């Protein structure tokens, strides 16, 4: 039986979720089962539309609207806590070969979850399961626990020139 590893995609650059979803596509192509948990997000981005049409992948959103410019509401915290509980059950079930925790480090940054919550969750990872963590501001304790860490670094971005998210490219 193969060993599964813990991946972290973090940093202030674009591409963390895209990298995780690329791994999702690769795993599906190999006949693996994938669970994608998106924390903080509540909007169905275009990538989710296509994933929902594919077999062997399940997606769940654990966000309650956009609070990035204001304080998180109780509903935001409850949504993240629900996601944490669901992912714990998913890991314990051993049903999936790959589990993606998209934006979970953002949930930690905004205090919807604690670093310890995420570290405790990692203890439920079955040995053969590949676990992927994405989001900016990844705590050092999680980085130390990971087997693979990639930092996306923004060098230049068209957002700074006033270009908004474009359909099918950025969202």
pLDDT of residue 142: 98
- The residues pairing with 134 across neighbouring beta strands, listed in sequence order, are 9
- Where helices occur in 11-162 by DSSP H, the ranges are 16-29, 46-51, 74-93, 104-109, 115-122, 140-145
Predicted TM-score (pTM) above 0.85: yes
Over residues 109-150, the pLDDT tens digits come to 999 999 999 999 999 999 999 999 999 999 999 999 999 999
Condensed to tens digits (0 to 9), the pLDDT of residues 11-50 reads 999 999 999 999 999 999 999 999 999 999 777 778 888 9
Task: For residue range 55-72, list pLDDT tens digits in order.
Answer: 999 999 998 766 566 678
Structure token pair of residue 50: 């296509």
Q: What is the CATH number of domain 6-161?
A: 3.40.50.300
What is residue 166's predicted lDDT score, i.e. its pLDDT? 84
Mean pLDDT of the chain: 92
């Amino acid at each position: 039986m193969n060993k599964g590893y813990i991946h972290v995609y973090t940093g202030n650059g674009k591409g963390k979720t895209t990298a995780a979803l690329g791994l999702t596509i690769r795993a599906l192509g190999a006949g693996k089962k994938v669970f994608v948990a998106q924390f903080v997000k509540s909007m169905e981005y275009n990538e989710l539309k296509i994933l929902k049409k594919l077999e062997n992948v399940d997606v769940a959103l654990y966000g309650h609207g956009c609070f990035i410019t204001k304080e998180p509401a109780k509903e935001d915290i409850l949504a993240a806590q629900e996601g944490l509980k669901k992912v714990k059950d998913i890991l314990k079930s051993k049903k999936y070969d790959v589990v993606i925790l998209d934006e979970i480090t953002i949930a930690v940054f905004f205090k919807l979850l604690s670093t310890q919550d995420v570290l405790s969750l990692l203890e439920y990872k079955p040995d053969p399961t590949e676990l992927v963590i994405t989001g900016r501001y990844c705590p050092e304790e999680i980085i130390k626990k990971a087997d693979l860490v990639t930092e996306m670094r923004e060098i230049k971005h068209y957002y700074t020139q006033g270009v908004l998210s474009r359909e099918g490219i950025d969202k």
